[in-house]
Structure 1
């Protein structure tokens, strides 16, 4: 499964005005729920998993988070994405006691445990391109973010 198959405009929030991890989780969860991708249990699953296995990823100037949870909470696979107007604190996955200001959140809703590893590998390869992250942050709409992701994936092939 490819990233481009799982991401679409209806699941993207640009310049979200949030002040906490909980707020952004709730916003992205509502998008996923209202569009039929996840069960009501998904939000609690995401929040509980984040406490035990933080998903903040230090990338220098543009840190990201990749929250996800168990397949049982997912109806059909998708990726919800948000760029944040101001960074929100996540815990660093490499050093869970460290706070990390995050400005892009990729929320994974995957209905197969095996898909998570594959999807995380695909995402990490994109994240290594700082120009890609900057373009995502500068995008003014979901359509533009979808285009940036698809263009970057084409260049990787």
Structure 2
């Protein structure tokens, strides 16, 4: 079961700007490193993992990406949510052939492999709810997004 502690007001980022997915992953990783959620090794690990196992998803309401990496790079589990200023192209999860212009990023930093599986499963329930995903995408209020995500994940 995902708990409220994974979603943190300080890690809900609105109108986040990056030039491409690697710039984005680097910037989000730097925030996590600075706030002591992850080890410095997290940044390179999440970028390298994205190259091999892409995380873009076409979903109704808003396209998403869920970059993540191995538990050994995580100090304290969390999810960074970034609503992008401009969509960023990720490769589609699975075959990695199709480009996905992702608007919402859910970067996972999970230090327990079993919890990562359940967290991904809970996120998929958000991604399959067009109305909820649209509400998250349309909101410009950190507390509203925090509420929507927390309620959906619990």
Which SS does the other structure have where 1:8 is aligned?
Answer: strand
* Alignment check: 8 A CA contact 1:66 1:107 kept: yes
Q: CA deviation at 1:61?
A: 4.6
Aligned-residue CA RMSD in angstroms? 1.5
Query: 1:101 and 1:60 mapped to 2: Cα distance?
Result: 13
Q: Which moved more, 1:45-54 or 1:28-37?
A: 28-37
Give the structure 1 partner of residue 134 of structure 2.
Answer: 134
Q: CA deviation at 1:83?
A: 0.5
Which of structure 1's runs of 4+ aligned residues deviate more than 4 A?
Answer: none
Q: CA deviation at 1:3?
A: 5.0
Q: Deviations over 1:8-48 (max 9, x none)?
A: 11111101122210122122112211211000000100000
* Alignment check: 8 A CA contact 1:28 1:81 kept: no
TM-score scaled by length of structure 1: 0.91
* Structure 2: gaps spanning 5 or more residues: none
Aligned pair count reads: 154
Give the structure 2 partner of residue 23 of structure 1.
Answer: 23
Give the structure 2 partner of residue 80 of structure 1.
Answer: 80
Q: CA deviation at 1:150?
A: 2.5
Superposed counterparts of 1:35-114, under 5 Å: 35-114=35-114
Which SS does the other structure have where 1:67 is aligned?
Answer: coil
Q: Deviations over 1:120-145 (max 9, x none)?
A: 00000111111111111122232221
* Alignment check: 8 A CA contact 1:65 1:105 kept: yes
Query: 1:98 and 1:125 mapped to 2: Cα distance?
Result: 22
